[in-house]
Amino acid sequence: MTQATNITPLFNNLAKIERDRNVACHACSLYSLCLPLGLNNNDLVRLDNIIERSQNHKRGHTLFTSDQPFRSLFVVRSGSFKTTISAKDGRDQVTGFYFPGEFIALDAIHQQNYQSNAKALESSSVCELPFNNLEEIGKEMPQLQIQMLTRLSKELAGDKNLMLLLGKKTADEKLATFLLSLSKRFQERGFSATDFQLSMSRGDIANHLGLAVETVSRLFSRFQEEGLILIAGKALSIKDIEKLRLMCG
């Protein structure tokens, strides 16, 4: 079996941030992807002051669960997270994967409790935004409000597309769509659009796409046979991104 080689480690540029966890928004490499975008200096300082920058979370660490009271939104600083919701009988659905600059817990605003469970997929850190404070300073920062609305709206649009994926797409189309979504997000963050590490397990991918683990595994094998990708464990290299695009349905 051919090996995927020279894969760029995921977000290794962010190692610096993990070491210096108290870097302020204006100095943060995620600045342009994150909430502060469009704020003036004064407002930025006020926002900065309500943010609690978290300790490092190890792989598997639970950020929150749906039985806990909602207090804060989180923005991924480094690493990655998955969110899940559970049916009564324990079945659960991976509702999303979250990368640096992305918000977690937007579905919990103004509910008593979080609406999902969030877990770190690798060593990760977050910025915690206590919602009461955010609400408070938001009253005086229209630009921040717009940002919040935009964020929510974007996640909503993404979820509608996931509904299309889950409801109408074949297994091939699901996986192709998923890989391209990751590719795009990595590219937006300044990383390679074709070579990256999958921080989530096959099980998580399968669950998220409404497939069985075995199906995902077989698809990875077949995509590789067909020359679309190289996959070795968690290391992925996209070899024919155009063909992959045509497969998305």
Partner DNA sequence: CGCGCGTTTGACATGACTCAAATGCTGTGG
Partner DNA sequence: CCACAGCATTTGAGTCATGTCAAACGCGCG
Q: Which residues bind DNA (CB under 7 A)?
A: 170-172, 201-203, 210-218, 220-221, 231, 233-234
Which pair of structure tokens corresponds to residue 169? Answer: 């797409």
Q: Least CB distance from residue 171 to DNA, whole Å?
A: 4
**Residues pairing with 85 in the sheet:** 93
The nearer residue to DNA, 85 or 171, going by C-beta atoms, is: 171
Alpha carbon separation from 22 to 54, 115, 208 (Å, rounded): 9, 29, 33
Closest to 137 measured CA to CA, from 42, 35, 41, 47: 47
CB atoms within 10 A of CB 233: 10
The nearer residue to DNA, 50 or 213, going by C-beta atoms, is: 213
Alpha carbon separation from 58 to 15, 125, 126, 207 (Å, rounded): 14, 9, 12, 22
Q: Does 132 sit near a second copy (CB under 8 A)?
A: no
Using an 8 Å Cβ cutoff, are 205 and 178 in contact? yes
Contact region with a second copy (CB under 8 A), list: 8-16, 53-61, 104-112, 233-241:
104-112
Q: Does 67 sit near a second copy (CB under 8 A)?
A: no
Contact region with a second copy (CB under 8 A), list: 17-25, 39-47, 189-197, 205-213:
205-213
The nearer residue to a second copy, 37 or 232, going by C-beta atoms, is: 37
Q: How far apart are CA 223 and CA 229, in angstroms?
A: 6
Q: Does 107 sit near a second copy (CB under 8 A)?
A: yes
Residue selected from 200, 209, 219, 238 as contacting a second copy according to rule CB under 8 A? 209
Q: How far apart are CA 26 and CA 61, in angstroms?
A: 28
Q: Least CB distance from residue 174 to DNA, whole Å?
A: 8
Q: Where in 166-185 is the site for a second copy (CB under 8 A)?
A: 166-169
| Burial label, 76 (beta-carbon count in 10 A; 0-12, 13-18, 19+) | buried
Contacts of 12 (CB under 8 A, 6+ apart): none
The footprint of a second copy (CB under 8 A) covers: 85, 87-89, 91-93, 95, 106-111, 115-116, 135, 138-139, 142, 145-146, 148-150, 152-153, 155-157, 159-164, 166-169, 207-210, 248-249
